[in-house]
Amino acid sequence: MKLSGLEGKRVLITGASSGIGAGMAKVLAEAGCRLVLHFNRNASGIEETLNTVQEMGAEAEVLQCDFAQLETVRSFFDEAWQTFEGLDALVNNAGIVTKSLALKDPEGVQFNETLAVNLQAPYLLSTAFAQCCIEAKQGGAIVNNSSIHAQATCEWFSAYAASKAGMDAMTKAQAVEWGPYGIRVNVLAPGVVPVERTQAILSQPAMEKKWTQNMPMGRYGTPEEMGYATAYLLSDEAAWMTGSVLTLDGGLIARGNYPRRD
């Protein structure tokens, strides 16, 4: 079944230069969306994403912004909103994966930097989107790309896990606040999805076995699969879905850290 309501939908995707964001862009382009593609530093990556979606026939534009500079986020959003004379959807995908032991960051420098990019910037973007939708008297949909680290985490991830847990909670609160205006807010929570910066190490046989033996599905996810899930969350088929967390992790979280029973 082809998802409905996506043809011509104007969508801002942050962090679209590579990885999951690029996968989202390809799937939404195939569905007929008009795309505003955000990037920060990866100019060659965003050019590749842009060329790919345009070859698929999608109308797309590129905008740059460093979300660590929070004072620039609103002007960036306003430009994105004006690109196609409005937006129908926002995908908060951009983020940084911080690996730091709390005791190695006692002043919270990395912690604060992580929250700025992963939580505060999406808050500002989502709020700006909601304000503009309400003013335009239209509905809208937001997908926040979180992580399974919001649900269960491990060493080195206190900052990252906190930012994603905060995103999950923020999503639920915003869904409640903005539901009466026809604005839906949901979370996509990916598990282990190899992307450009992790492909080499995750594809090593020993590393792949370490991860996939704990996944009931027995394999990693793909950026395109995250794109399909995003398309569903933005589609008319998900019209009654808001404040939810959609976990795609091959069953990793469901299995838990139990001894294997072979």
Looking at residue 60, its pLDDT comes to 98
* pLDDT at position 261: 79
- b/e burial code for range 94-130 (CB count within 10 A of at least 16 → b): bbbebebeeeebeeeebbebbbbbbbbbbbbbbbbbb
Global pTM? 0.96
Q: Which of 10, 8, 17, 20 is nearest to 37 (CA)?
A: 17
- Overall residue count recorded for the chain in this entry: 262
| CA distances in angstroms from 127 to 80, 120, 121, 233, listed in the order given | 14, 11, 10, 19
Provide the token pair at 68.
């660590």
What is the Cα gyration radius of the chain?
18
Please report, in tens digits, the pLDDT of each residue of the chain (262 residues total).
689 999 999 999 999 999 999 999 999 999 999 999 999 999 999 999 999 999 999 999 999 999 999 999 999 999 999 999 999 999 999 999 999 899 999 999 999 999 999 999 999 999 999 999 999 999 999 999 999 999 999 999 999 999 999 999 999 999 999 999 999 999 999 999 999 989 999 999 999 999 999 999 999 999 999 999 999 999 999 999 999 999 999 999 999 888 877 7
Residues 6+ apart with CB under 8 A from 188: 143, 144, 145, 146, 226, 229, 230, 233, 246, 248
What does 9-32 look like in DSSP terms, one character per residue? -EEEESS-SSHHHHHHHHHHHHTT
| 160 included as an active-site residue | yes
**Residue 1 pLDDT:** 67
- Catalytic option among 160, 220, 228, 232: 160
Contact 89, 10 (CB under 8 A): yes
Walk me through the domains of the chain, giving residue ranges and CATH numbers: 10-247 (3.40.50.720)
CB 48 within 8 A of CB 196: no
CB 258 within 8 A of CB 214: no
Look up residue 252 and give its amino acid.
Answer: L
